[in-house]
Amino acid sequence: MPQTSTRRRLAAALVTAAVLVPLAACGNDDGGDSGDSGDSGRKDGGKATLTVLAAASLTDVFRTAGAAYEKEHPGTEVKFSFEGSQELAAKVRQGAPADALVTADTKTMDGLRDDTGTPVVIARNRLVIATGKGNPEGVRTLKDLSRSGLKVVLAAPEVPVGRYSKQVLDAQKVDVEPVSQEPNVRAVLSKVELGEADAGIVYKTDVTAADGKAEGVDIPDAQNALASYPAATLRTSEHSGAAADFVKWLSGPAAQKLLRDAGFQKA
C-alpha cells in the first residue's frame, strides 16, 4: 500500500507539471502579464495589428487616418471593417476578434457597455438629401421626397442614419415610401449614384466623399438631426494598450483635422 500511494503521488505531480509548463509558456507570448499595458498590448517583437470596426460613413476618412496613424506609430498596422453600426454591434456580440469600435450613434454603443471600455465621442455629422448629379428631379426640401413618382431610398430603421431619417421625416410630417431600405448609408448613396433612386437621405460627409457623383441638398438645422460618433476599445482585444492609444489618438489634433477636412463636425 505505501508503494502504491507513493506511485500515485508521483504520477499526480508529473501531470501537474505537464499542465503548468505550457501554461507558463503561453503567458510569456505577450512579453508579460496580460494585464500589463506597458507594451501597448503588442505581440511579435513590439508589433501589433489592430482591427477596428467602424461605421460605413467613416470609410474614406478612416482609411486616410489609418495611414497617418501607422506613419506616426511604426510597428502598428490598422485594419478596418466598415459596415452599418447595427451590423458591427452584432459582430461584437458574436465575439468577432477586434480591438476597437466606432459607431455612428450613441444608442448602439450604449447597448454594448459590457463589451467596451468607456466611449468618447470623436465627431458629429448632419443629414443631407442626396440626389443624382445635377439634381435632375429638382429636389429642394424634405417634403419633396413625398412626391408621387419620385424614387427615394432610405437606410433601414435599425441603421443609425435610417433612424435619424425617420426622426426628421416624422417631425415634418413627411410620408415617404422608399423603393428600398439599405443596410448602411453607403448603400443608400450608391443607389443614388447609380441612378437606381432619385434621392436618399445620407450624411453630409457621404456626399462630400462622392466626389461629384452625387449632389447634396441641405436640410435646415431646425429640421435636421445631429449624429454622434463614439469610439471605444473592446474588452476582448488582444492589444488593449495599442487599442487604447488609437482611440485616444482619434480625439487628438491630427485625427481631428482629418475629420474636419472630411466634413465632420467637432465633437
Over residues 209-242, the pLDDT tens digits come to: 999 999 999 999 999 999 999 999 999 999 999 9
Element (H, E) at 11: helix 2-27
Domain-embedded: residue 27: no
* Domain annotation covers residue 29: no
Do both 220 and 190 map to the same domain? yes
Q: Which residues are registered as beta bridge partners of 180?
A: 153
Q: Do 105 and 231 sit in the same domain of this protein? A: yes
137 lies in the same domain as 200: yes
> Domain of 86?
41-124+227-261
Is 25 within the bounds of a domain?
Answer: no
Kindly state whether residues 132 and 207 are assigned to the same domain.
yes
Give the residue with greater pLDDT, 171 vs 43: 171
The answer to the question of residue 205 being in a domain is yes
Same domain, 76 and 110: yes
Q: Say how many domains are in the chain.
A: 2
User: In terms of pLDDT, which residue wins out, 46 or 48?
Assistant: 48
- Which of 128, 54, 122, 127 minimizes the C-alpha distance to 258? 122
Residues 103 and 118 in one domain: yes
Same domain membership, residue 145 and residue 67: no
Q: Do 231 and 214 fall into the same domain? A: no
Q: Is the pLDDT of residue 31 over 50?
A: no
> Is 184 found in the same domain as 138?
yes
Q: Look at residue 84 and tell me if it is in a domain.
A: yes
Same domain, 201 and 135: yes
* Contact criterion met (CB below 8 Å) for 109 and 119: yes
- Name the pLDDT band for 176 (thresholds 50, 70, 90): very high
Q: What is the mean pLDDT of residues 123-139?
A: 97
Q: 3-state DSSP: the chain helix, strand, coil percent, rounded to 5?
A: 45, 25, 35
176 Cβ contact list (under 8 Å, min separation 6): 145, 146, 152, 154, 169
Tell me: do 220 and 235 sit in the same domain.
no
Q: Are 133 and 220 within one domain?
A: yes
CATH assignment of the domain containing 236: 3.40.190.10
pLDDT at 47: 83
What is the pTM (predicted TM-score) of this model?
A: 0.82
Residue 37 confidence class, pLDDT cut points 50, 70, 90: very low
Q: Is residue 28 part of a domain?
A: no
pLDDT mean over 82-91: 98
